Chains A and B, each alone.
Chain A
Amino acid sequence: MPAEPVTRAAVLFVGLGSSHGDDAVGWRVADALLKTSPEGLMIRKALAPIDLLDWLEPGTRLLICDGCQGLETGETWRRWTWPDCDVAWKSAVGVHDFTIPGVLALAEGLGRLSCAPEVWGIEVGACDPATELNENLATTIGKVRDDVLAFVESTCKDSLCTKPRSYVRC
């Protein structure tokens, strides 16, 4: 059964992170995207997943990037369609325990998800205060930026956003 078309989606990218070591990867991807200034893509950085609800309105297509740990050997990054990403962040603890899965569940409950969000996870190492992001992540950050842009180009730009069917990618 074809998914029901709704309105054209605004696209919101939220890079999650902090200034502590590799935890900054989400912000760095947001910075990299900002340099390309893709049309129609709203780019924000947030410290806590709960803050993405500040910008998420019904009809907005949501893309998220955050650091994660425990990808399969050799994998440096990965993209999920929510709720598949829940496994990756299930045991994570966010600000006030509002993890990415928790916040997306809240968004769903409040009717703010018009499309299944896409979540990019980048494998990170140390996230200690007052340390810099590992320079080796620069390549991965570039790859994730390119994947986000390709995703936006192919899926969002000229297409209609559809209501999710059990949050399978629309």
Chain B
Amino acid sequence: MSASRTIRVEILSRVEGEGALHIHTENGRLEQVQLQIYEPPRLFEALLRGRPLEEVPDITARICGICPVAYQMSSVHALEMALEVTISPEIRQLRRLLYCGEWIESHALHMHLLHAPDFLGYESGIAMAADHPDAVNRGLRLKKHGNQLLEVLGGRAIHPINVAVGGFYRAPRREEFARLIPDFEWGLQAAIEATRWVAGLEFPDFERDYDMVALVHPDEYAFNEGRVVSTRGRDVAVLDYEEHYDEVHVAHSTALHSETLPERRCYHVGPLARLNLSRDRLFPEARRVADEIGFETPCWNPYRSIVARGIELVHAYAEALSILCDYRPFTPSRIAYEYREGEGCAATEAPRGLIYHRYQVDAEGKVQFAKIVPPTSQNQKQIEDDLRAWLPGVLDRPDKEVARMSEELVRNYDPCISCSTHFLKVVRHAR
């Protein structure tokens, strides 16, 4: 007699992403795992065609409410390559600062309100707040700092508008940054505390032989520039990214799956990848806290990504504080350019992993082609692979528990598809 079991986990809205999970077993054996995601970036790519290139940063920022800076940074760097624009060191520095703001906002929220409840046995951050109000308040305050930085430097926290091809429409005044410094000094210490806190959580014993991929820069913890490097030794220029990483359609999802070439294997992007590849380039404060908590790299346990986020949160605060304190207004805030036909690509590091953009522009400054590869589509195949490795060990448990544990595993990746808390709803079909 055949015992067939299907655990179907469904969702949801798209604005911040849509995901569902389908698990099917036969006679207790795992037959199929499908993570189904519906992402809109394809629509945005088509939308960009024929538009003036100046609109690209503002339009791509609308792809995601959580990580607009990642889309803006990737697009402006790619377009500047196409236009042969070289930005000044001051602009470069401000772009790193903007990215710090996004990492702070995103990492603080994920650590405190989305991921920590999994390890502490709460259904949600809301439920956790009753017993851990100080931690939740800390997370919210840190998140607020990220938004404040985006507001000052990006013009507003929602879909920042100050980012331009060639630089910024306006360089902030010194006093605007100076006002942030006391909060960021507090935030640095709070981020260190938060990292110690998450380092003390208990993590499932689950390690995998990942191919972790991240941008690596020789002199700094990479945000906007570097080479695409993997823990398996691949080391390629961003220009060659598409020769080594490909997106493919899968029948069960409208999102594309990324895989390595020529092997067509999954790979892992995100904080663990960055930390495994660039630990020695962290700001000293972050390196110190990583040493203090005994965070060993390379780390192959995806559940420990919450600790990696904590270390990166410390880094983002330390670097932001350094830039805020040293800041001197400068001109020009934007490098002038002339339209030319060209093509450019760029990879940057979104909070949840590497993001790649490529554009072709014509001599009138109109976009002819756009390609956007977000981190979550790069991790999607890896998430399914993790589930396939992990599920056989827990399939003897009730559906509800399997679904909950599956959600937790997915949350390790902080997928930017309306992610985490209550990510999944279960519909069980038994035959």
From B133, B158, B159, B420, A96 is in contact (CB under 8 Å) with: B420
Tell whether, in the assembled complex, residue B126 and residue A105 are in contact, meaning their CB atoms are under 8 Å apart. yes
Could you say which interface size class chain B belongs to?
35 or more
Docked Cα-Cα span, A45 to B157, in Å, equals: 9
Tell whether, in the assembled complex, residue A95 and residue B157 are in contact, meaning their CB atoms are under 8 Å apart. no
- Chain A residues with CB under 8 Å of B130's CB are 109
Tell whether, in the assembled complex, residue A97 and residue B421 are in contact, meaning their CB atoms are under 8 Å apart. yes
- Knowing A95-B65, A109-B130, A129-B62, say if A20 contacts B15 (CB, 8 Å): yes
The residue in chain B whose Cβ has the minimal distance to the Cβ of A93 is B13
From A19, A50, A111, B159 is in contact (CB under 8 Å) with: A19
- Chain A residues with CB under 8 Å of B423's CB are 97
Could you say which interface size class chain A belongs to?
20 to 34
The residue in chain A whose Cβ has the minimal distance to the Cβ of B59 is A130
B155 to chain A: closest CB distance in Å?
A: 13
B367 to chain A: closest CB distance in Å?
A: 14
From A93, A102, A111, A129, B11 is in contact (CB under 8 Å) with: A93
Docked Cα-Cα span, A93 to B422, in Å, equals: 10
Tell whether, in the assembled complex, residue A97 and residue B65 are in contact, meaning their CB atoms are under 8 Å apart. no
Docked Cα-Cα span, A93 to B136, in Å, equals: 21
Of B40-48, B277-285, B328-336, B370-378, the one with at least 4 CB within 8 A of chain A: B40-48
* A/B pair count, beta carbons within 8 Å: 82
- Knowing A46-B158, A106-B129, say if A129 contacts B418 (CB, 8 Å): no
Asked whether any CB of chain A lies closer than 8 Å to the CB of B147, the reply is: yes
Docked Cα-Cα span, A50 to B157, in Å, equals: 13
Which residues of A from 1 to 22 have beta carbons under 8 Å from B? 18-20
Docked Cα-Cα span, A45 to B129, in Å, equals: 25
28 A-B pairs with C-beta separation under 8 A: A18-B65, A19-B62, A19-B159, A23-B15, A50-B109, A51-B157, A53-B140, A54-B143, A54-B147, A54-B148, A92-B13, A93-B13, A94-B16, A95-B15, A95-B418, A96-B420, A97-B418, A98-B113, A98-B421, A102-B126, A106-B129, A109-B129, A109-B130, A110-B129, A129-B44, A129-B62, A130-B43, A130-B47
Given contacts A20-B15, A23-B15, 6 further A-B pairs with CB under 8 A are A48-B16, A50-B109, A93-B13, A93-B16, A106-B125, A109-B129
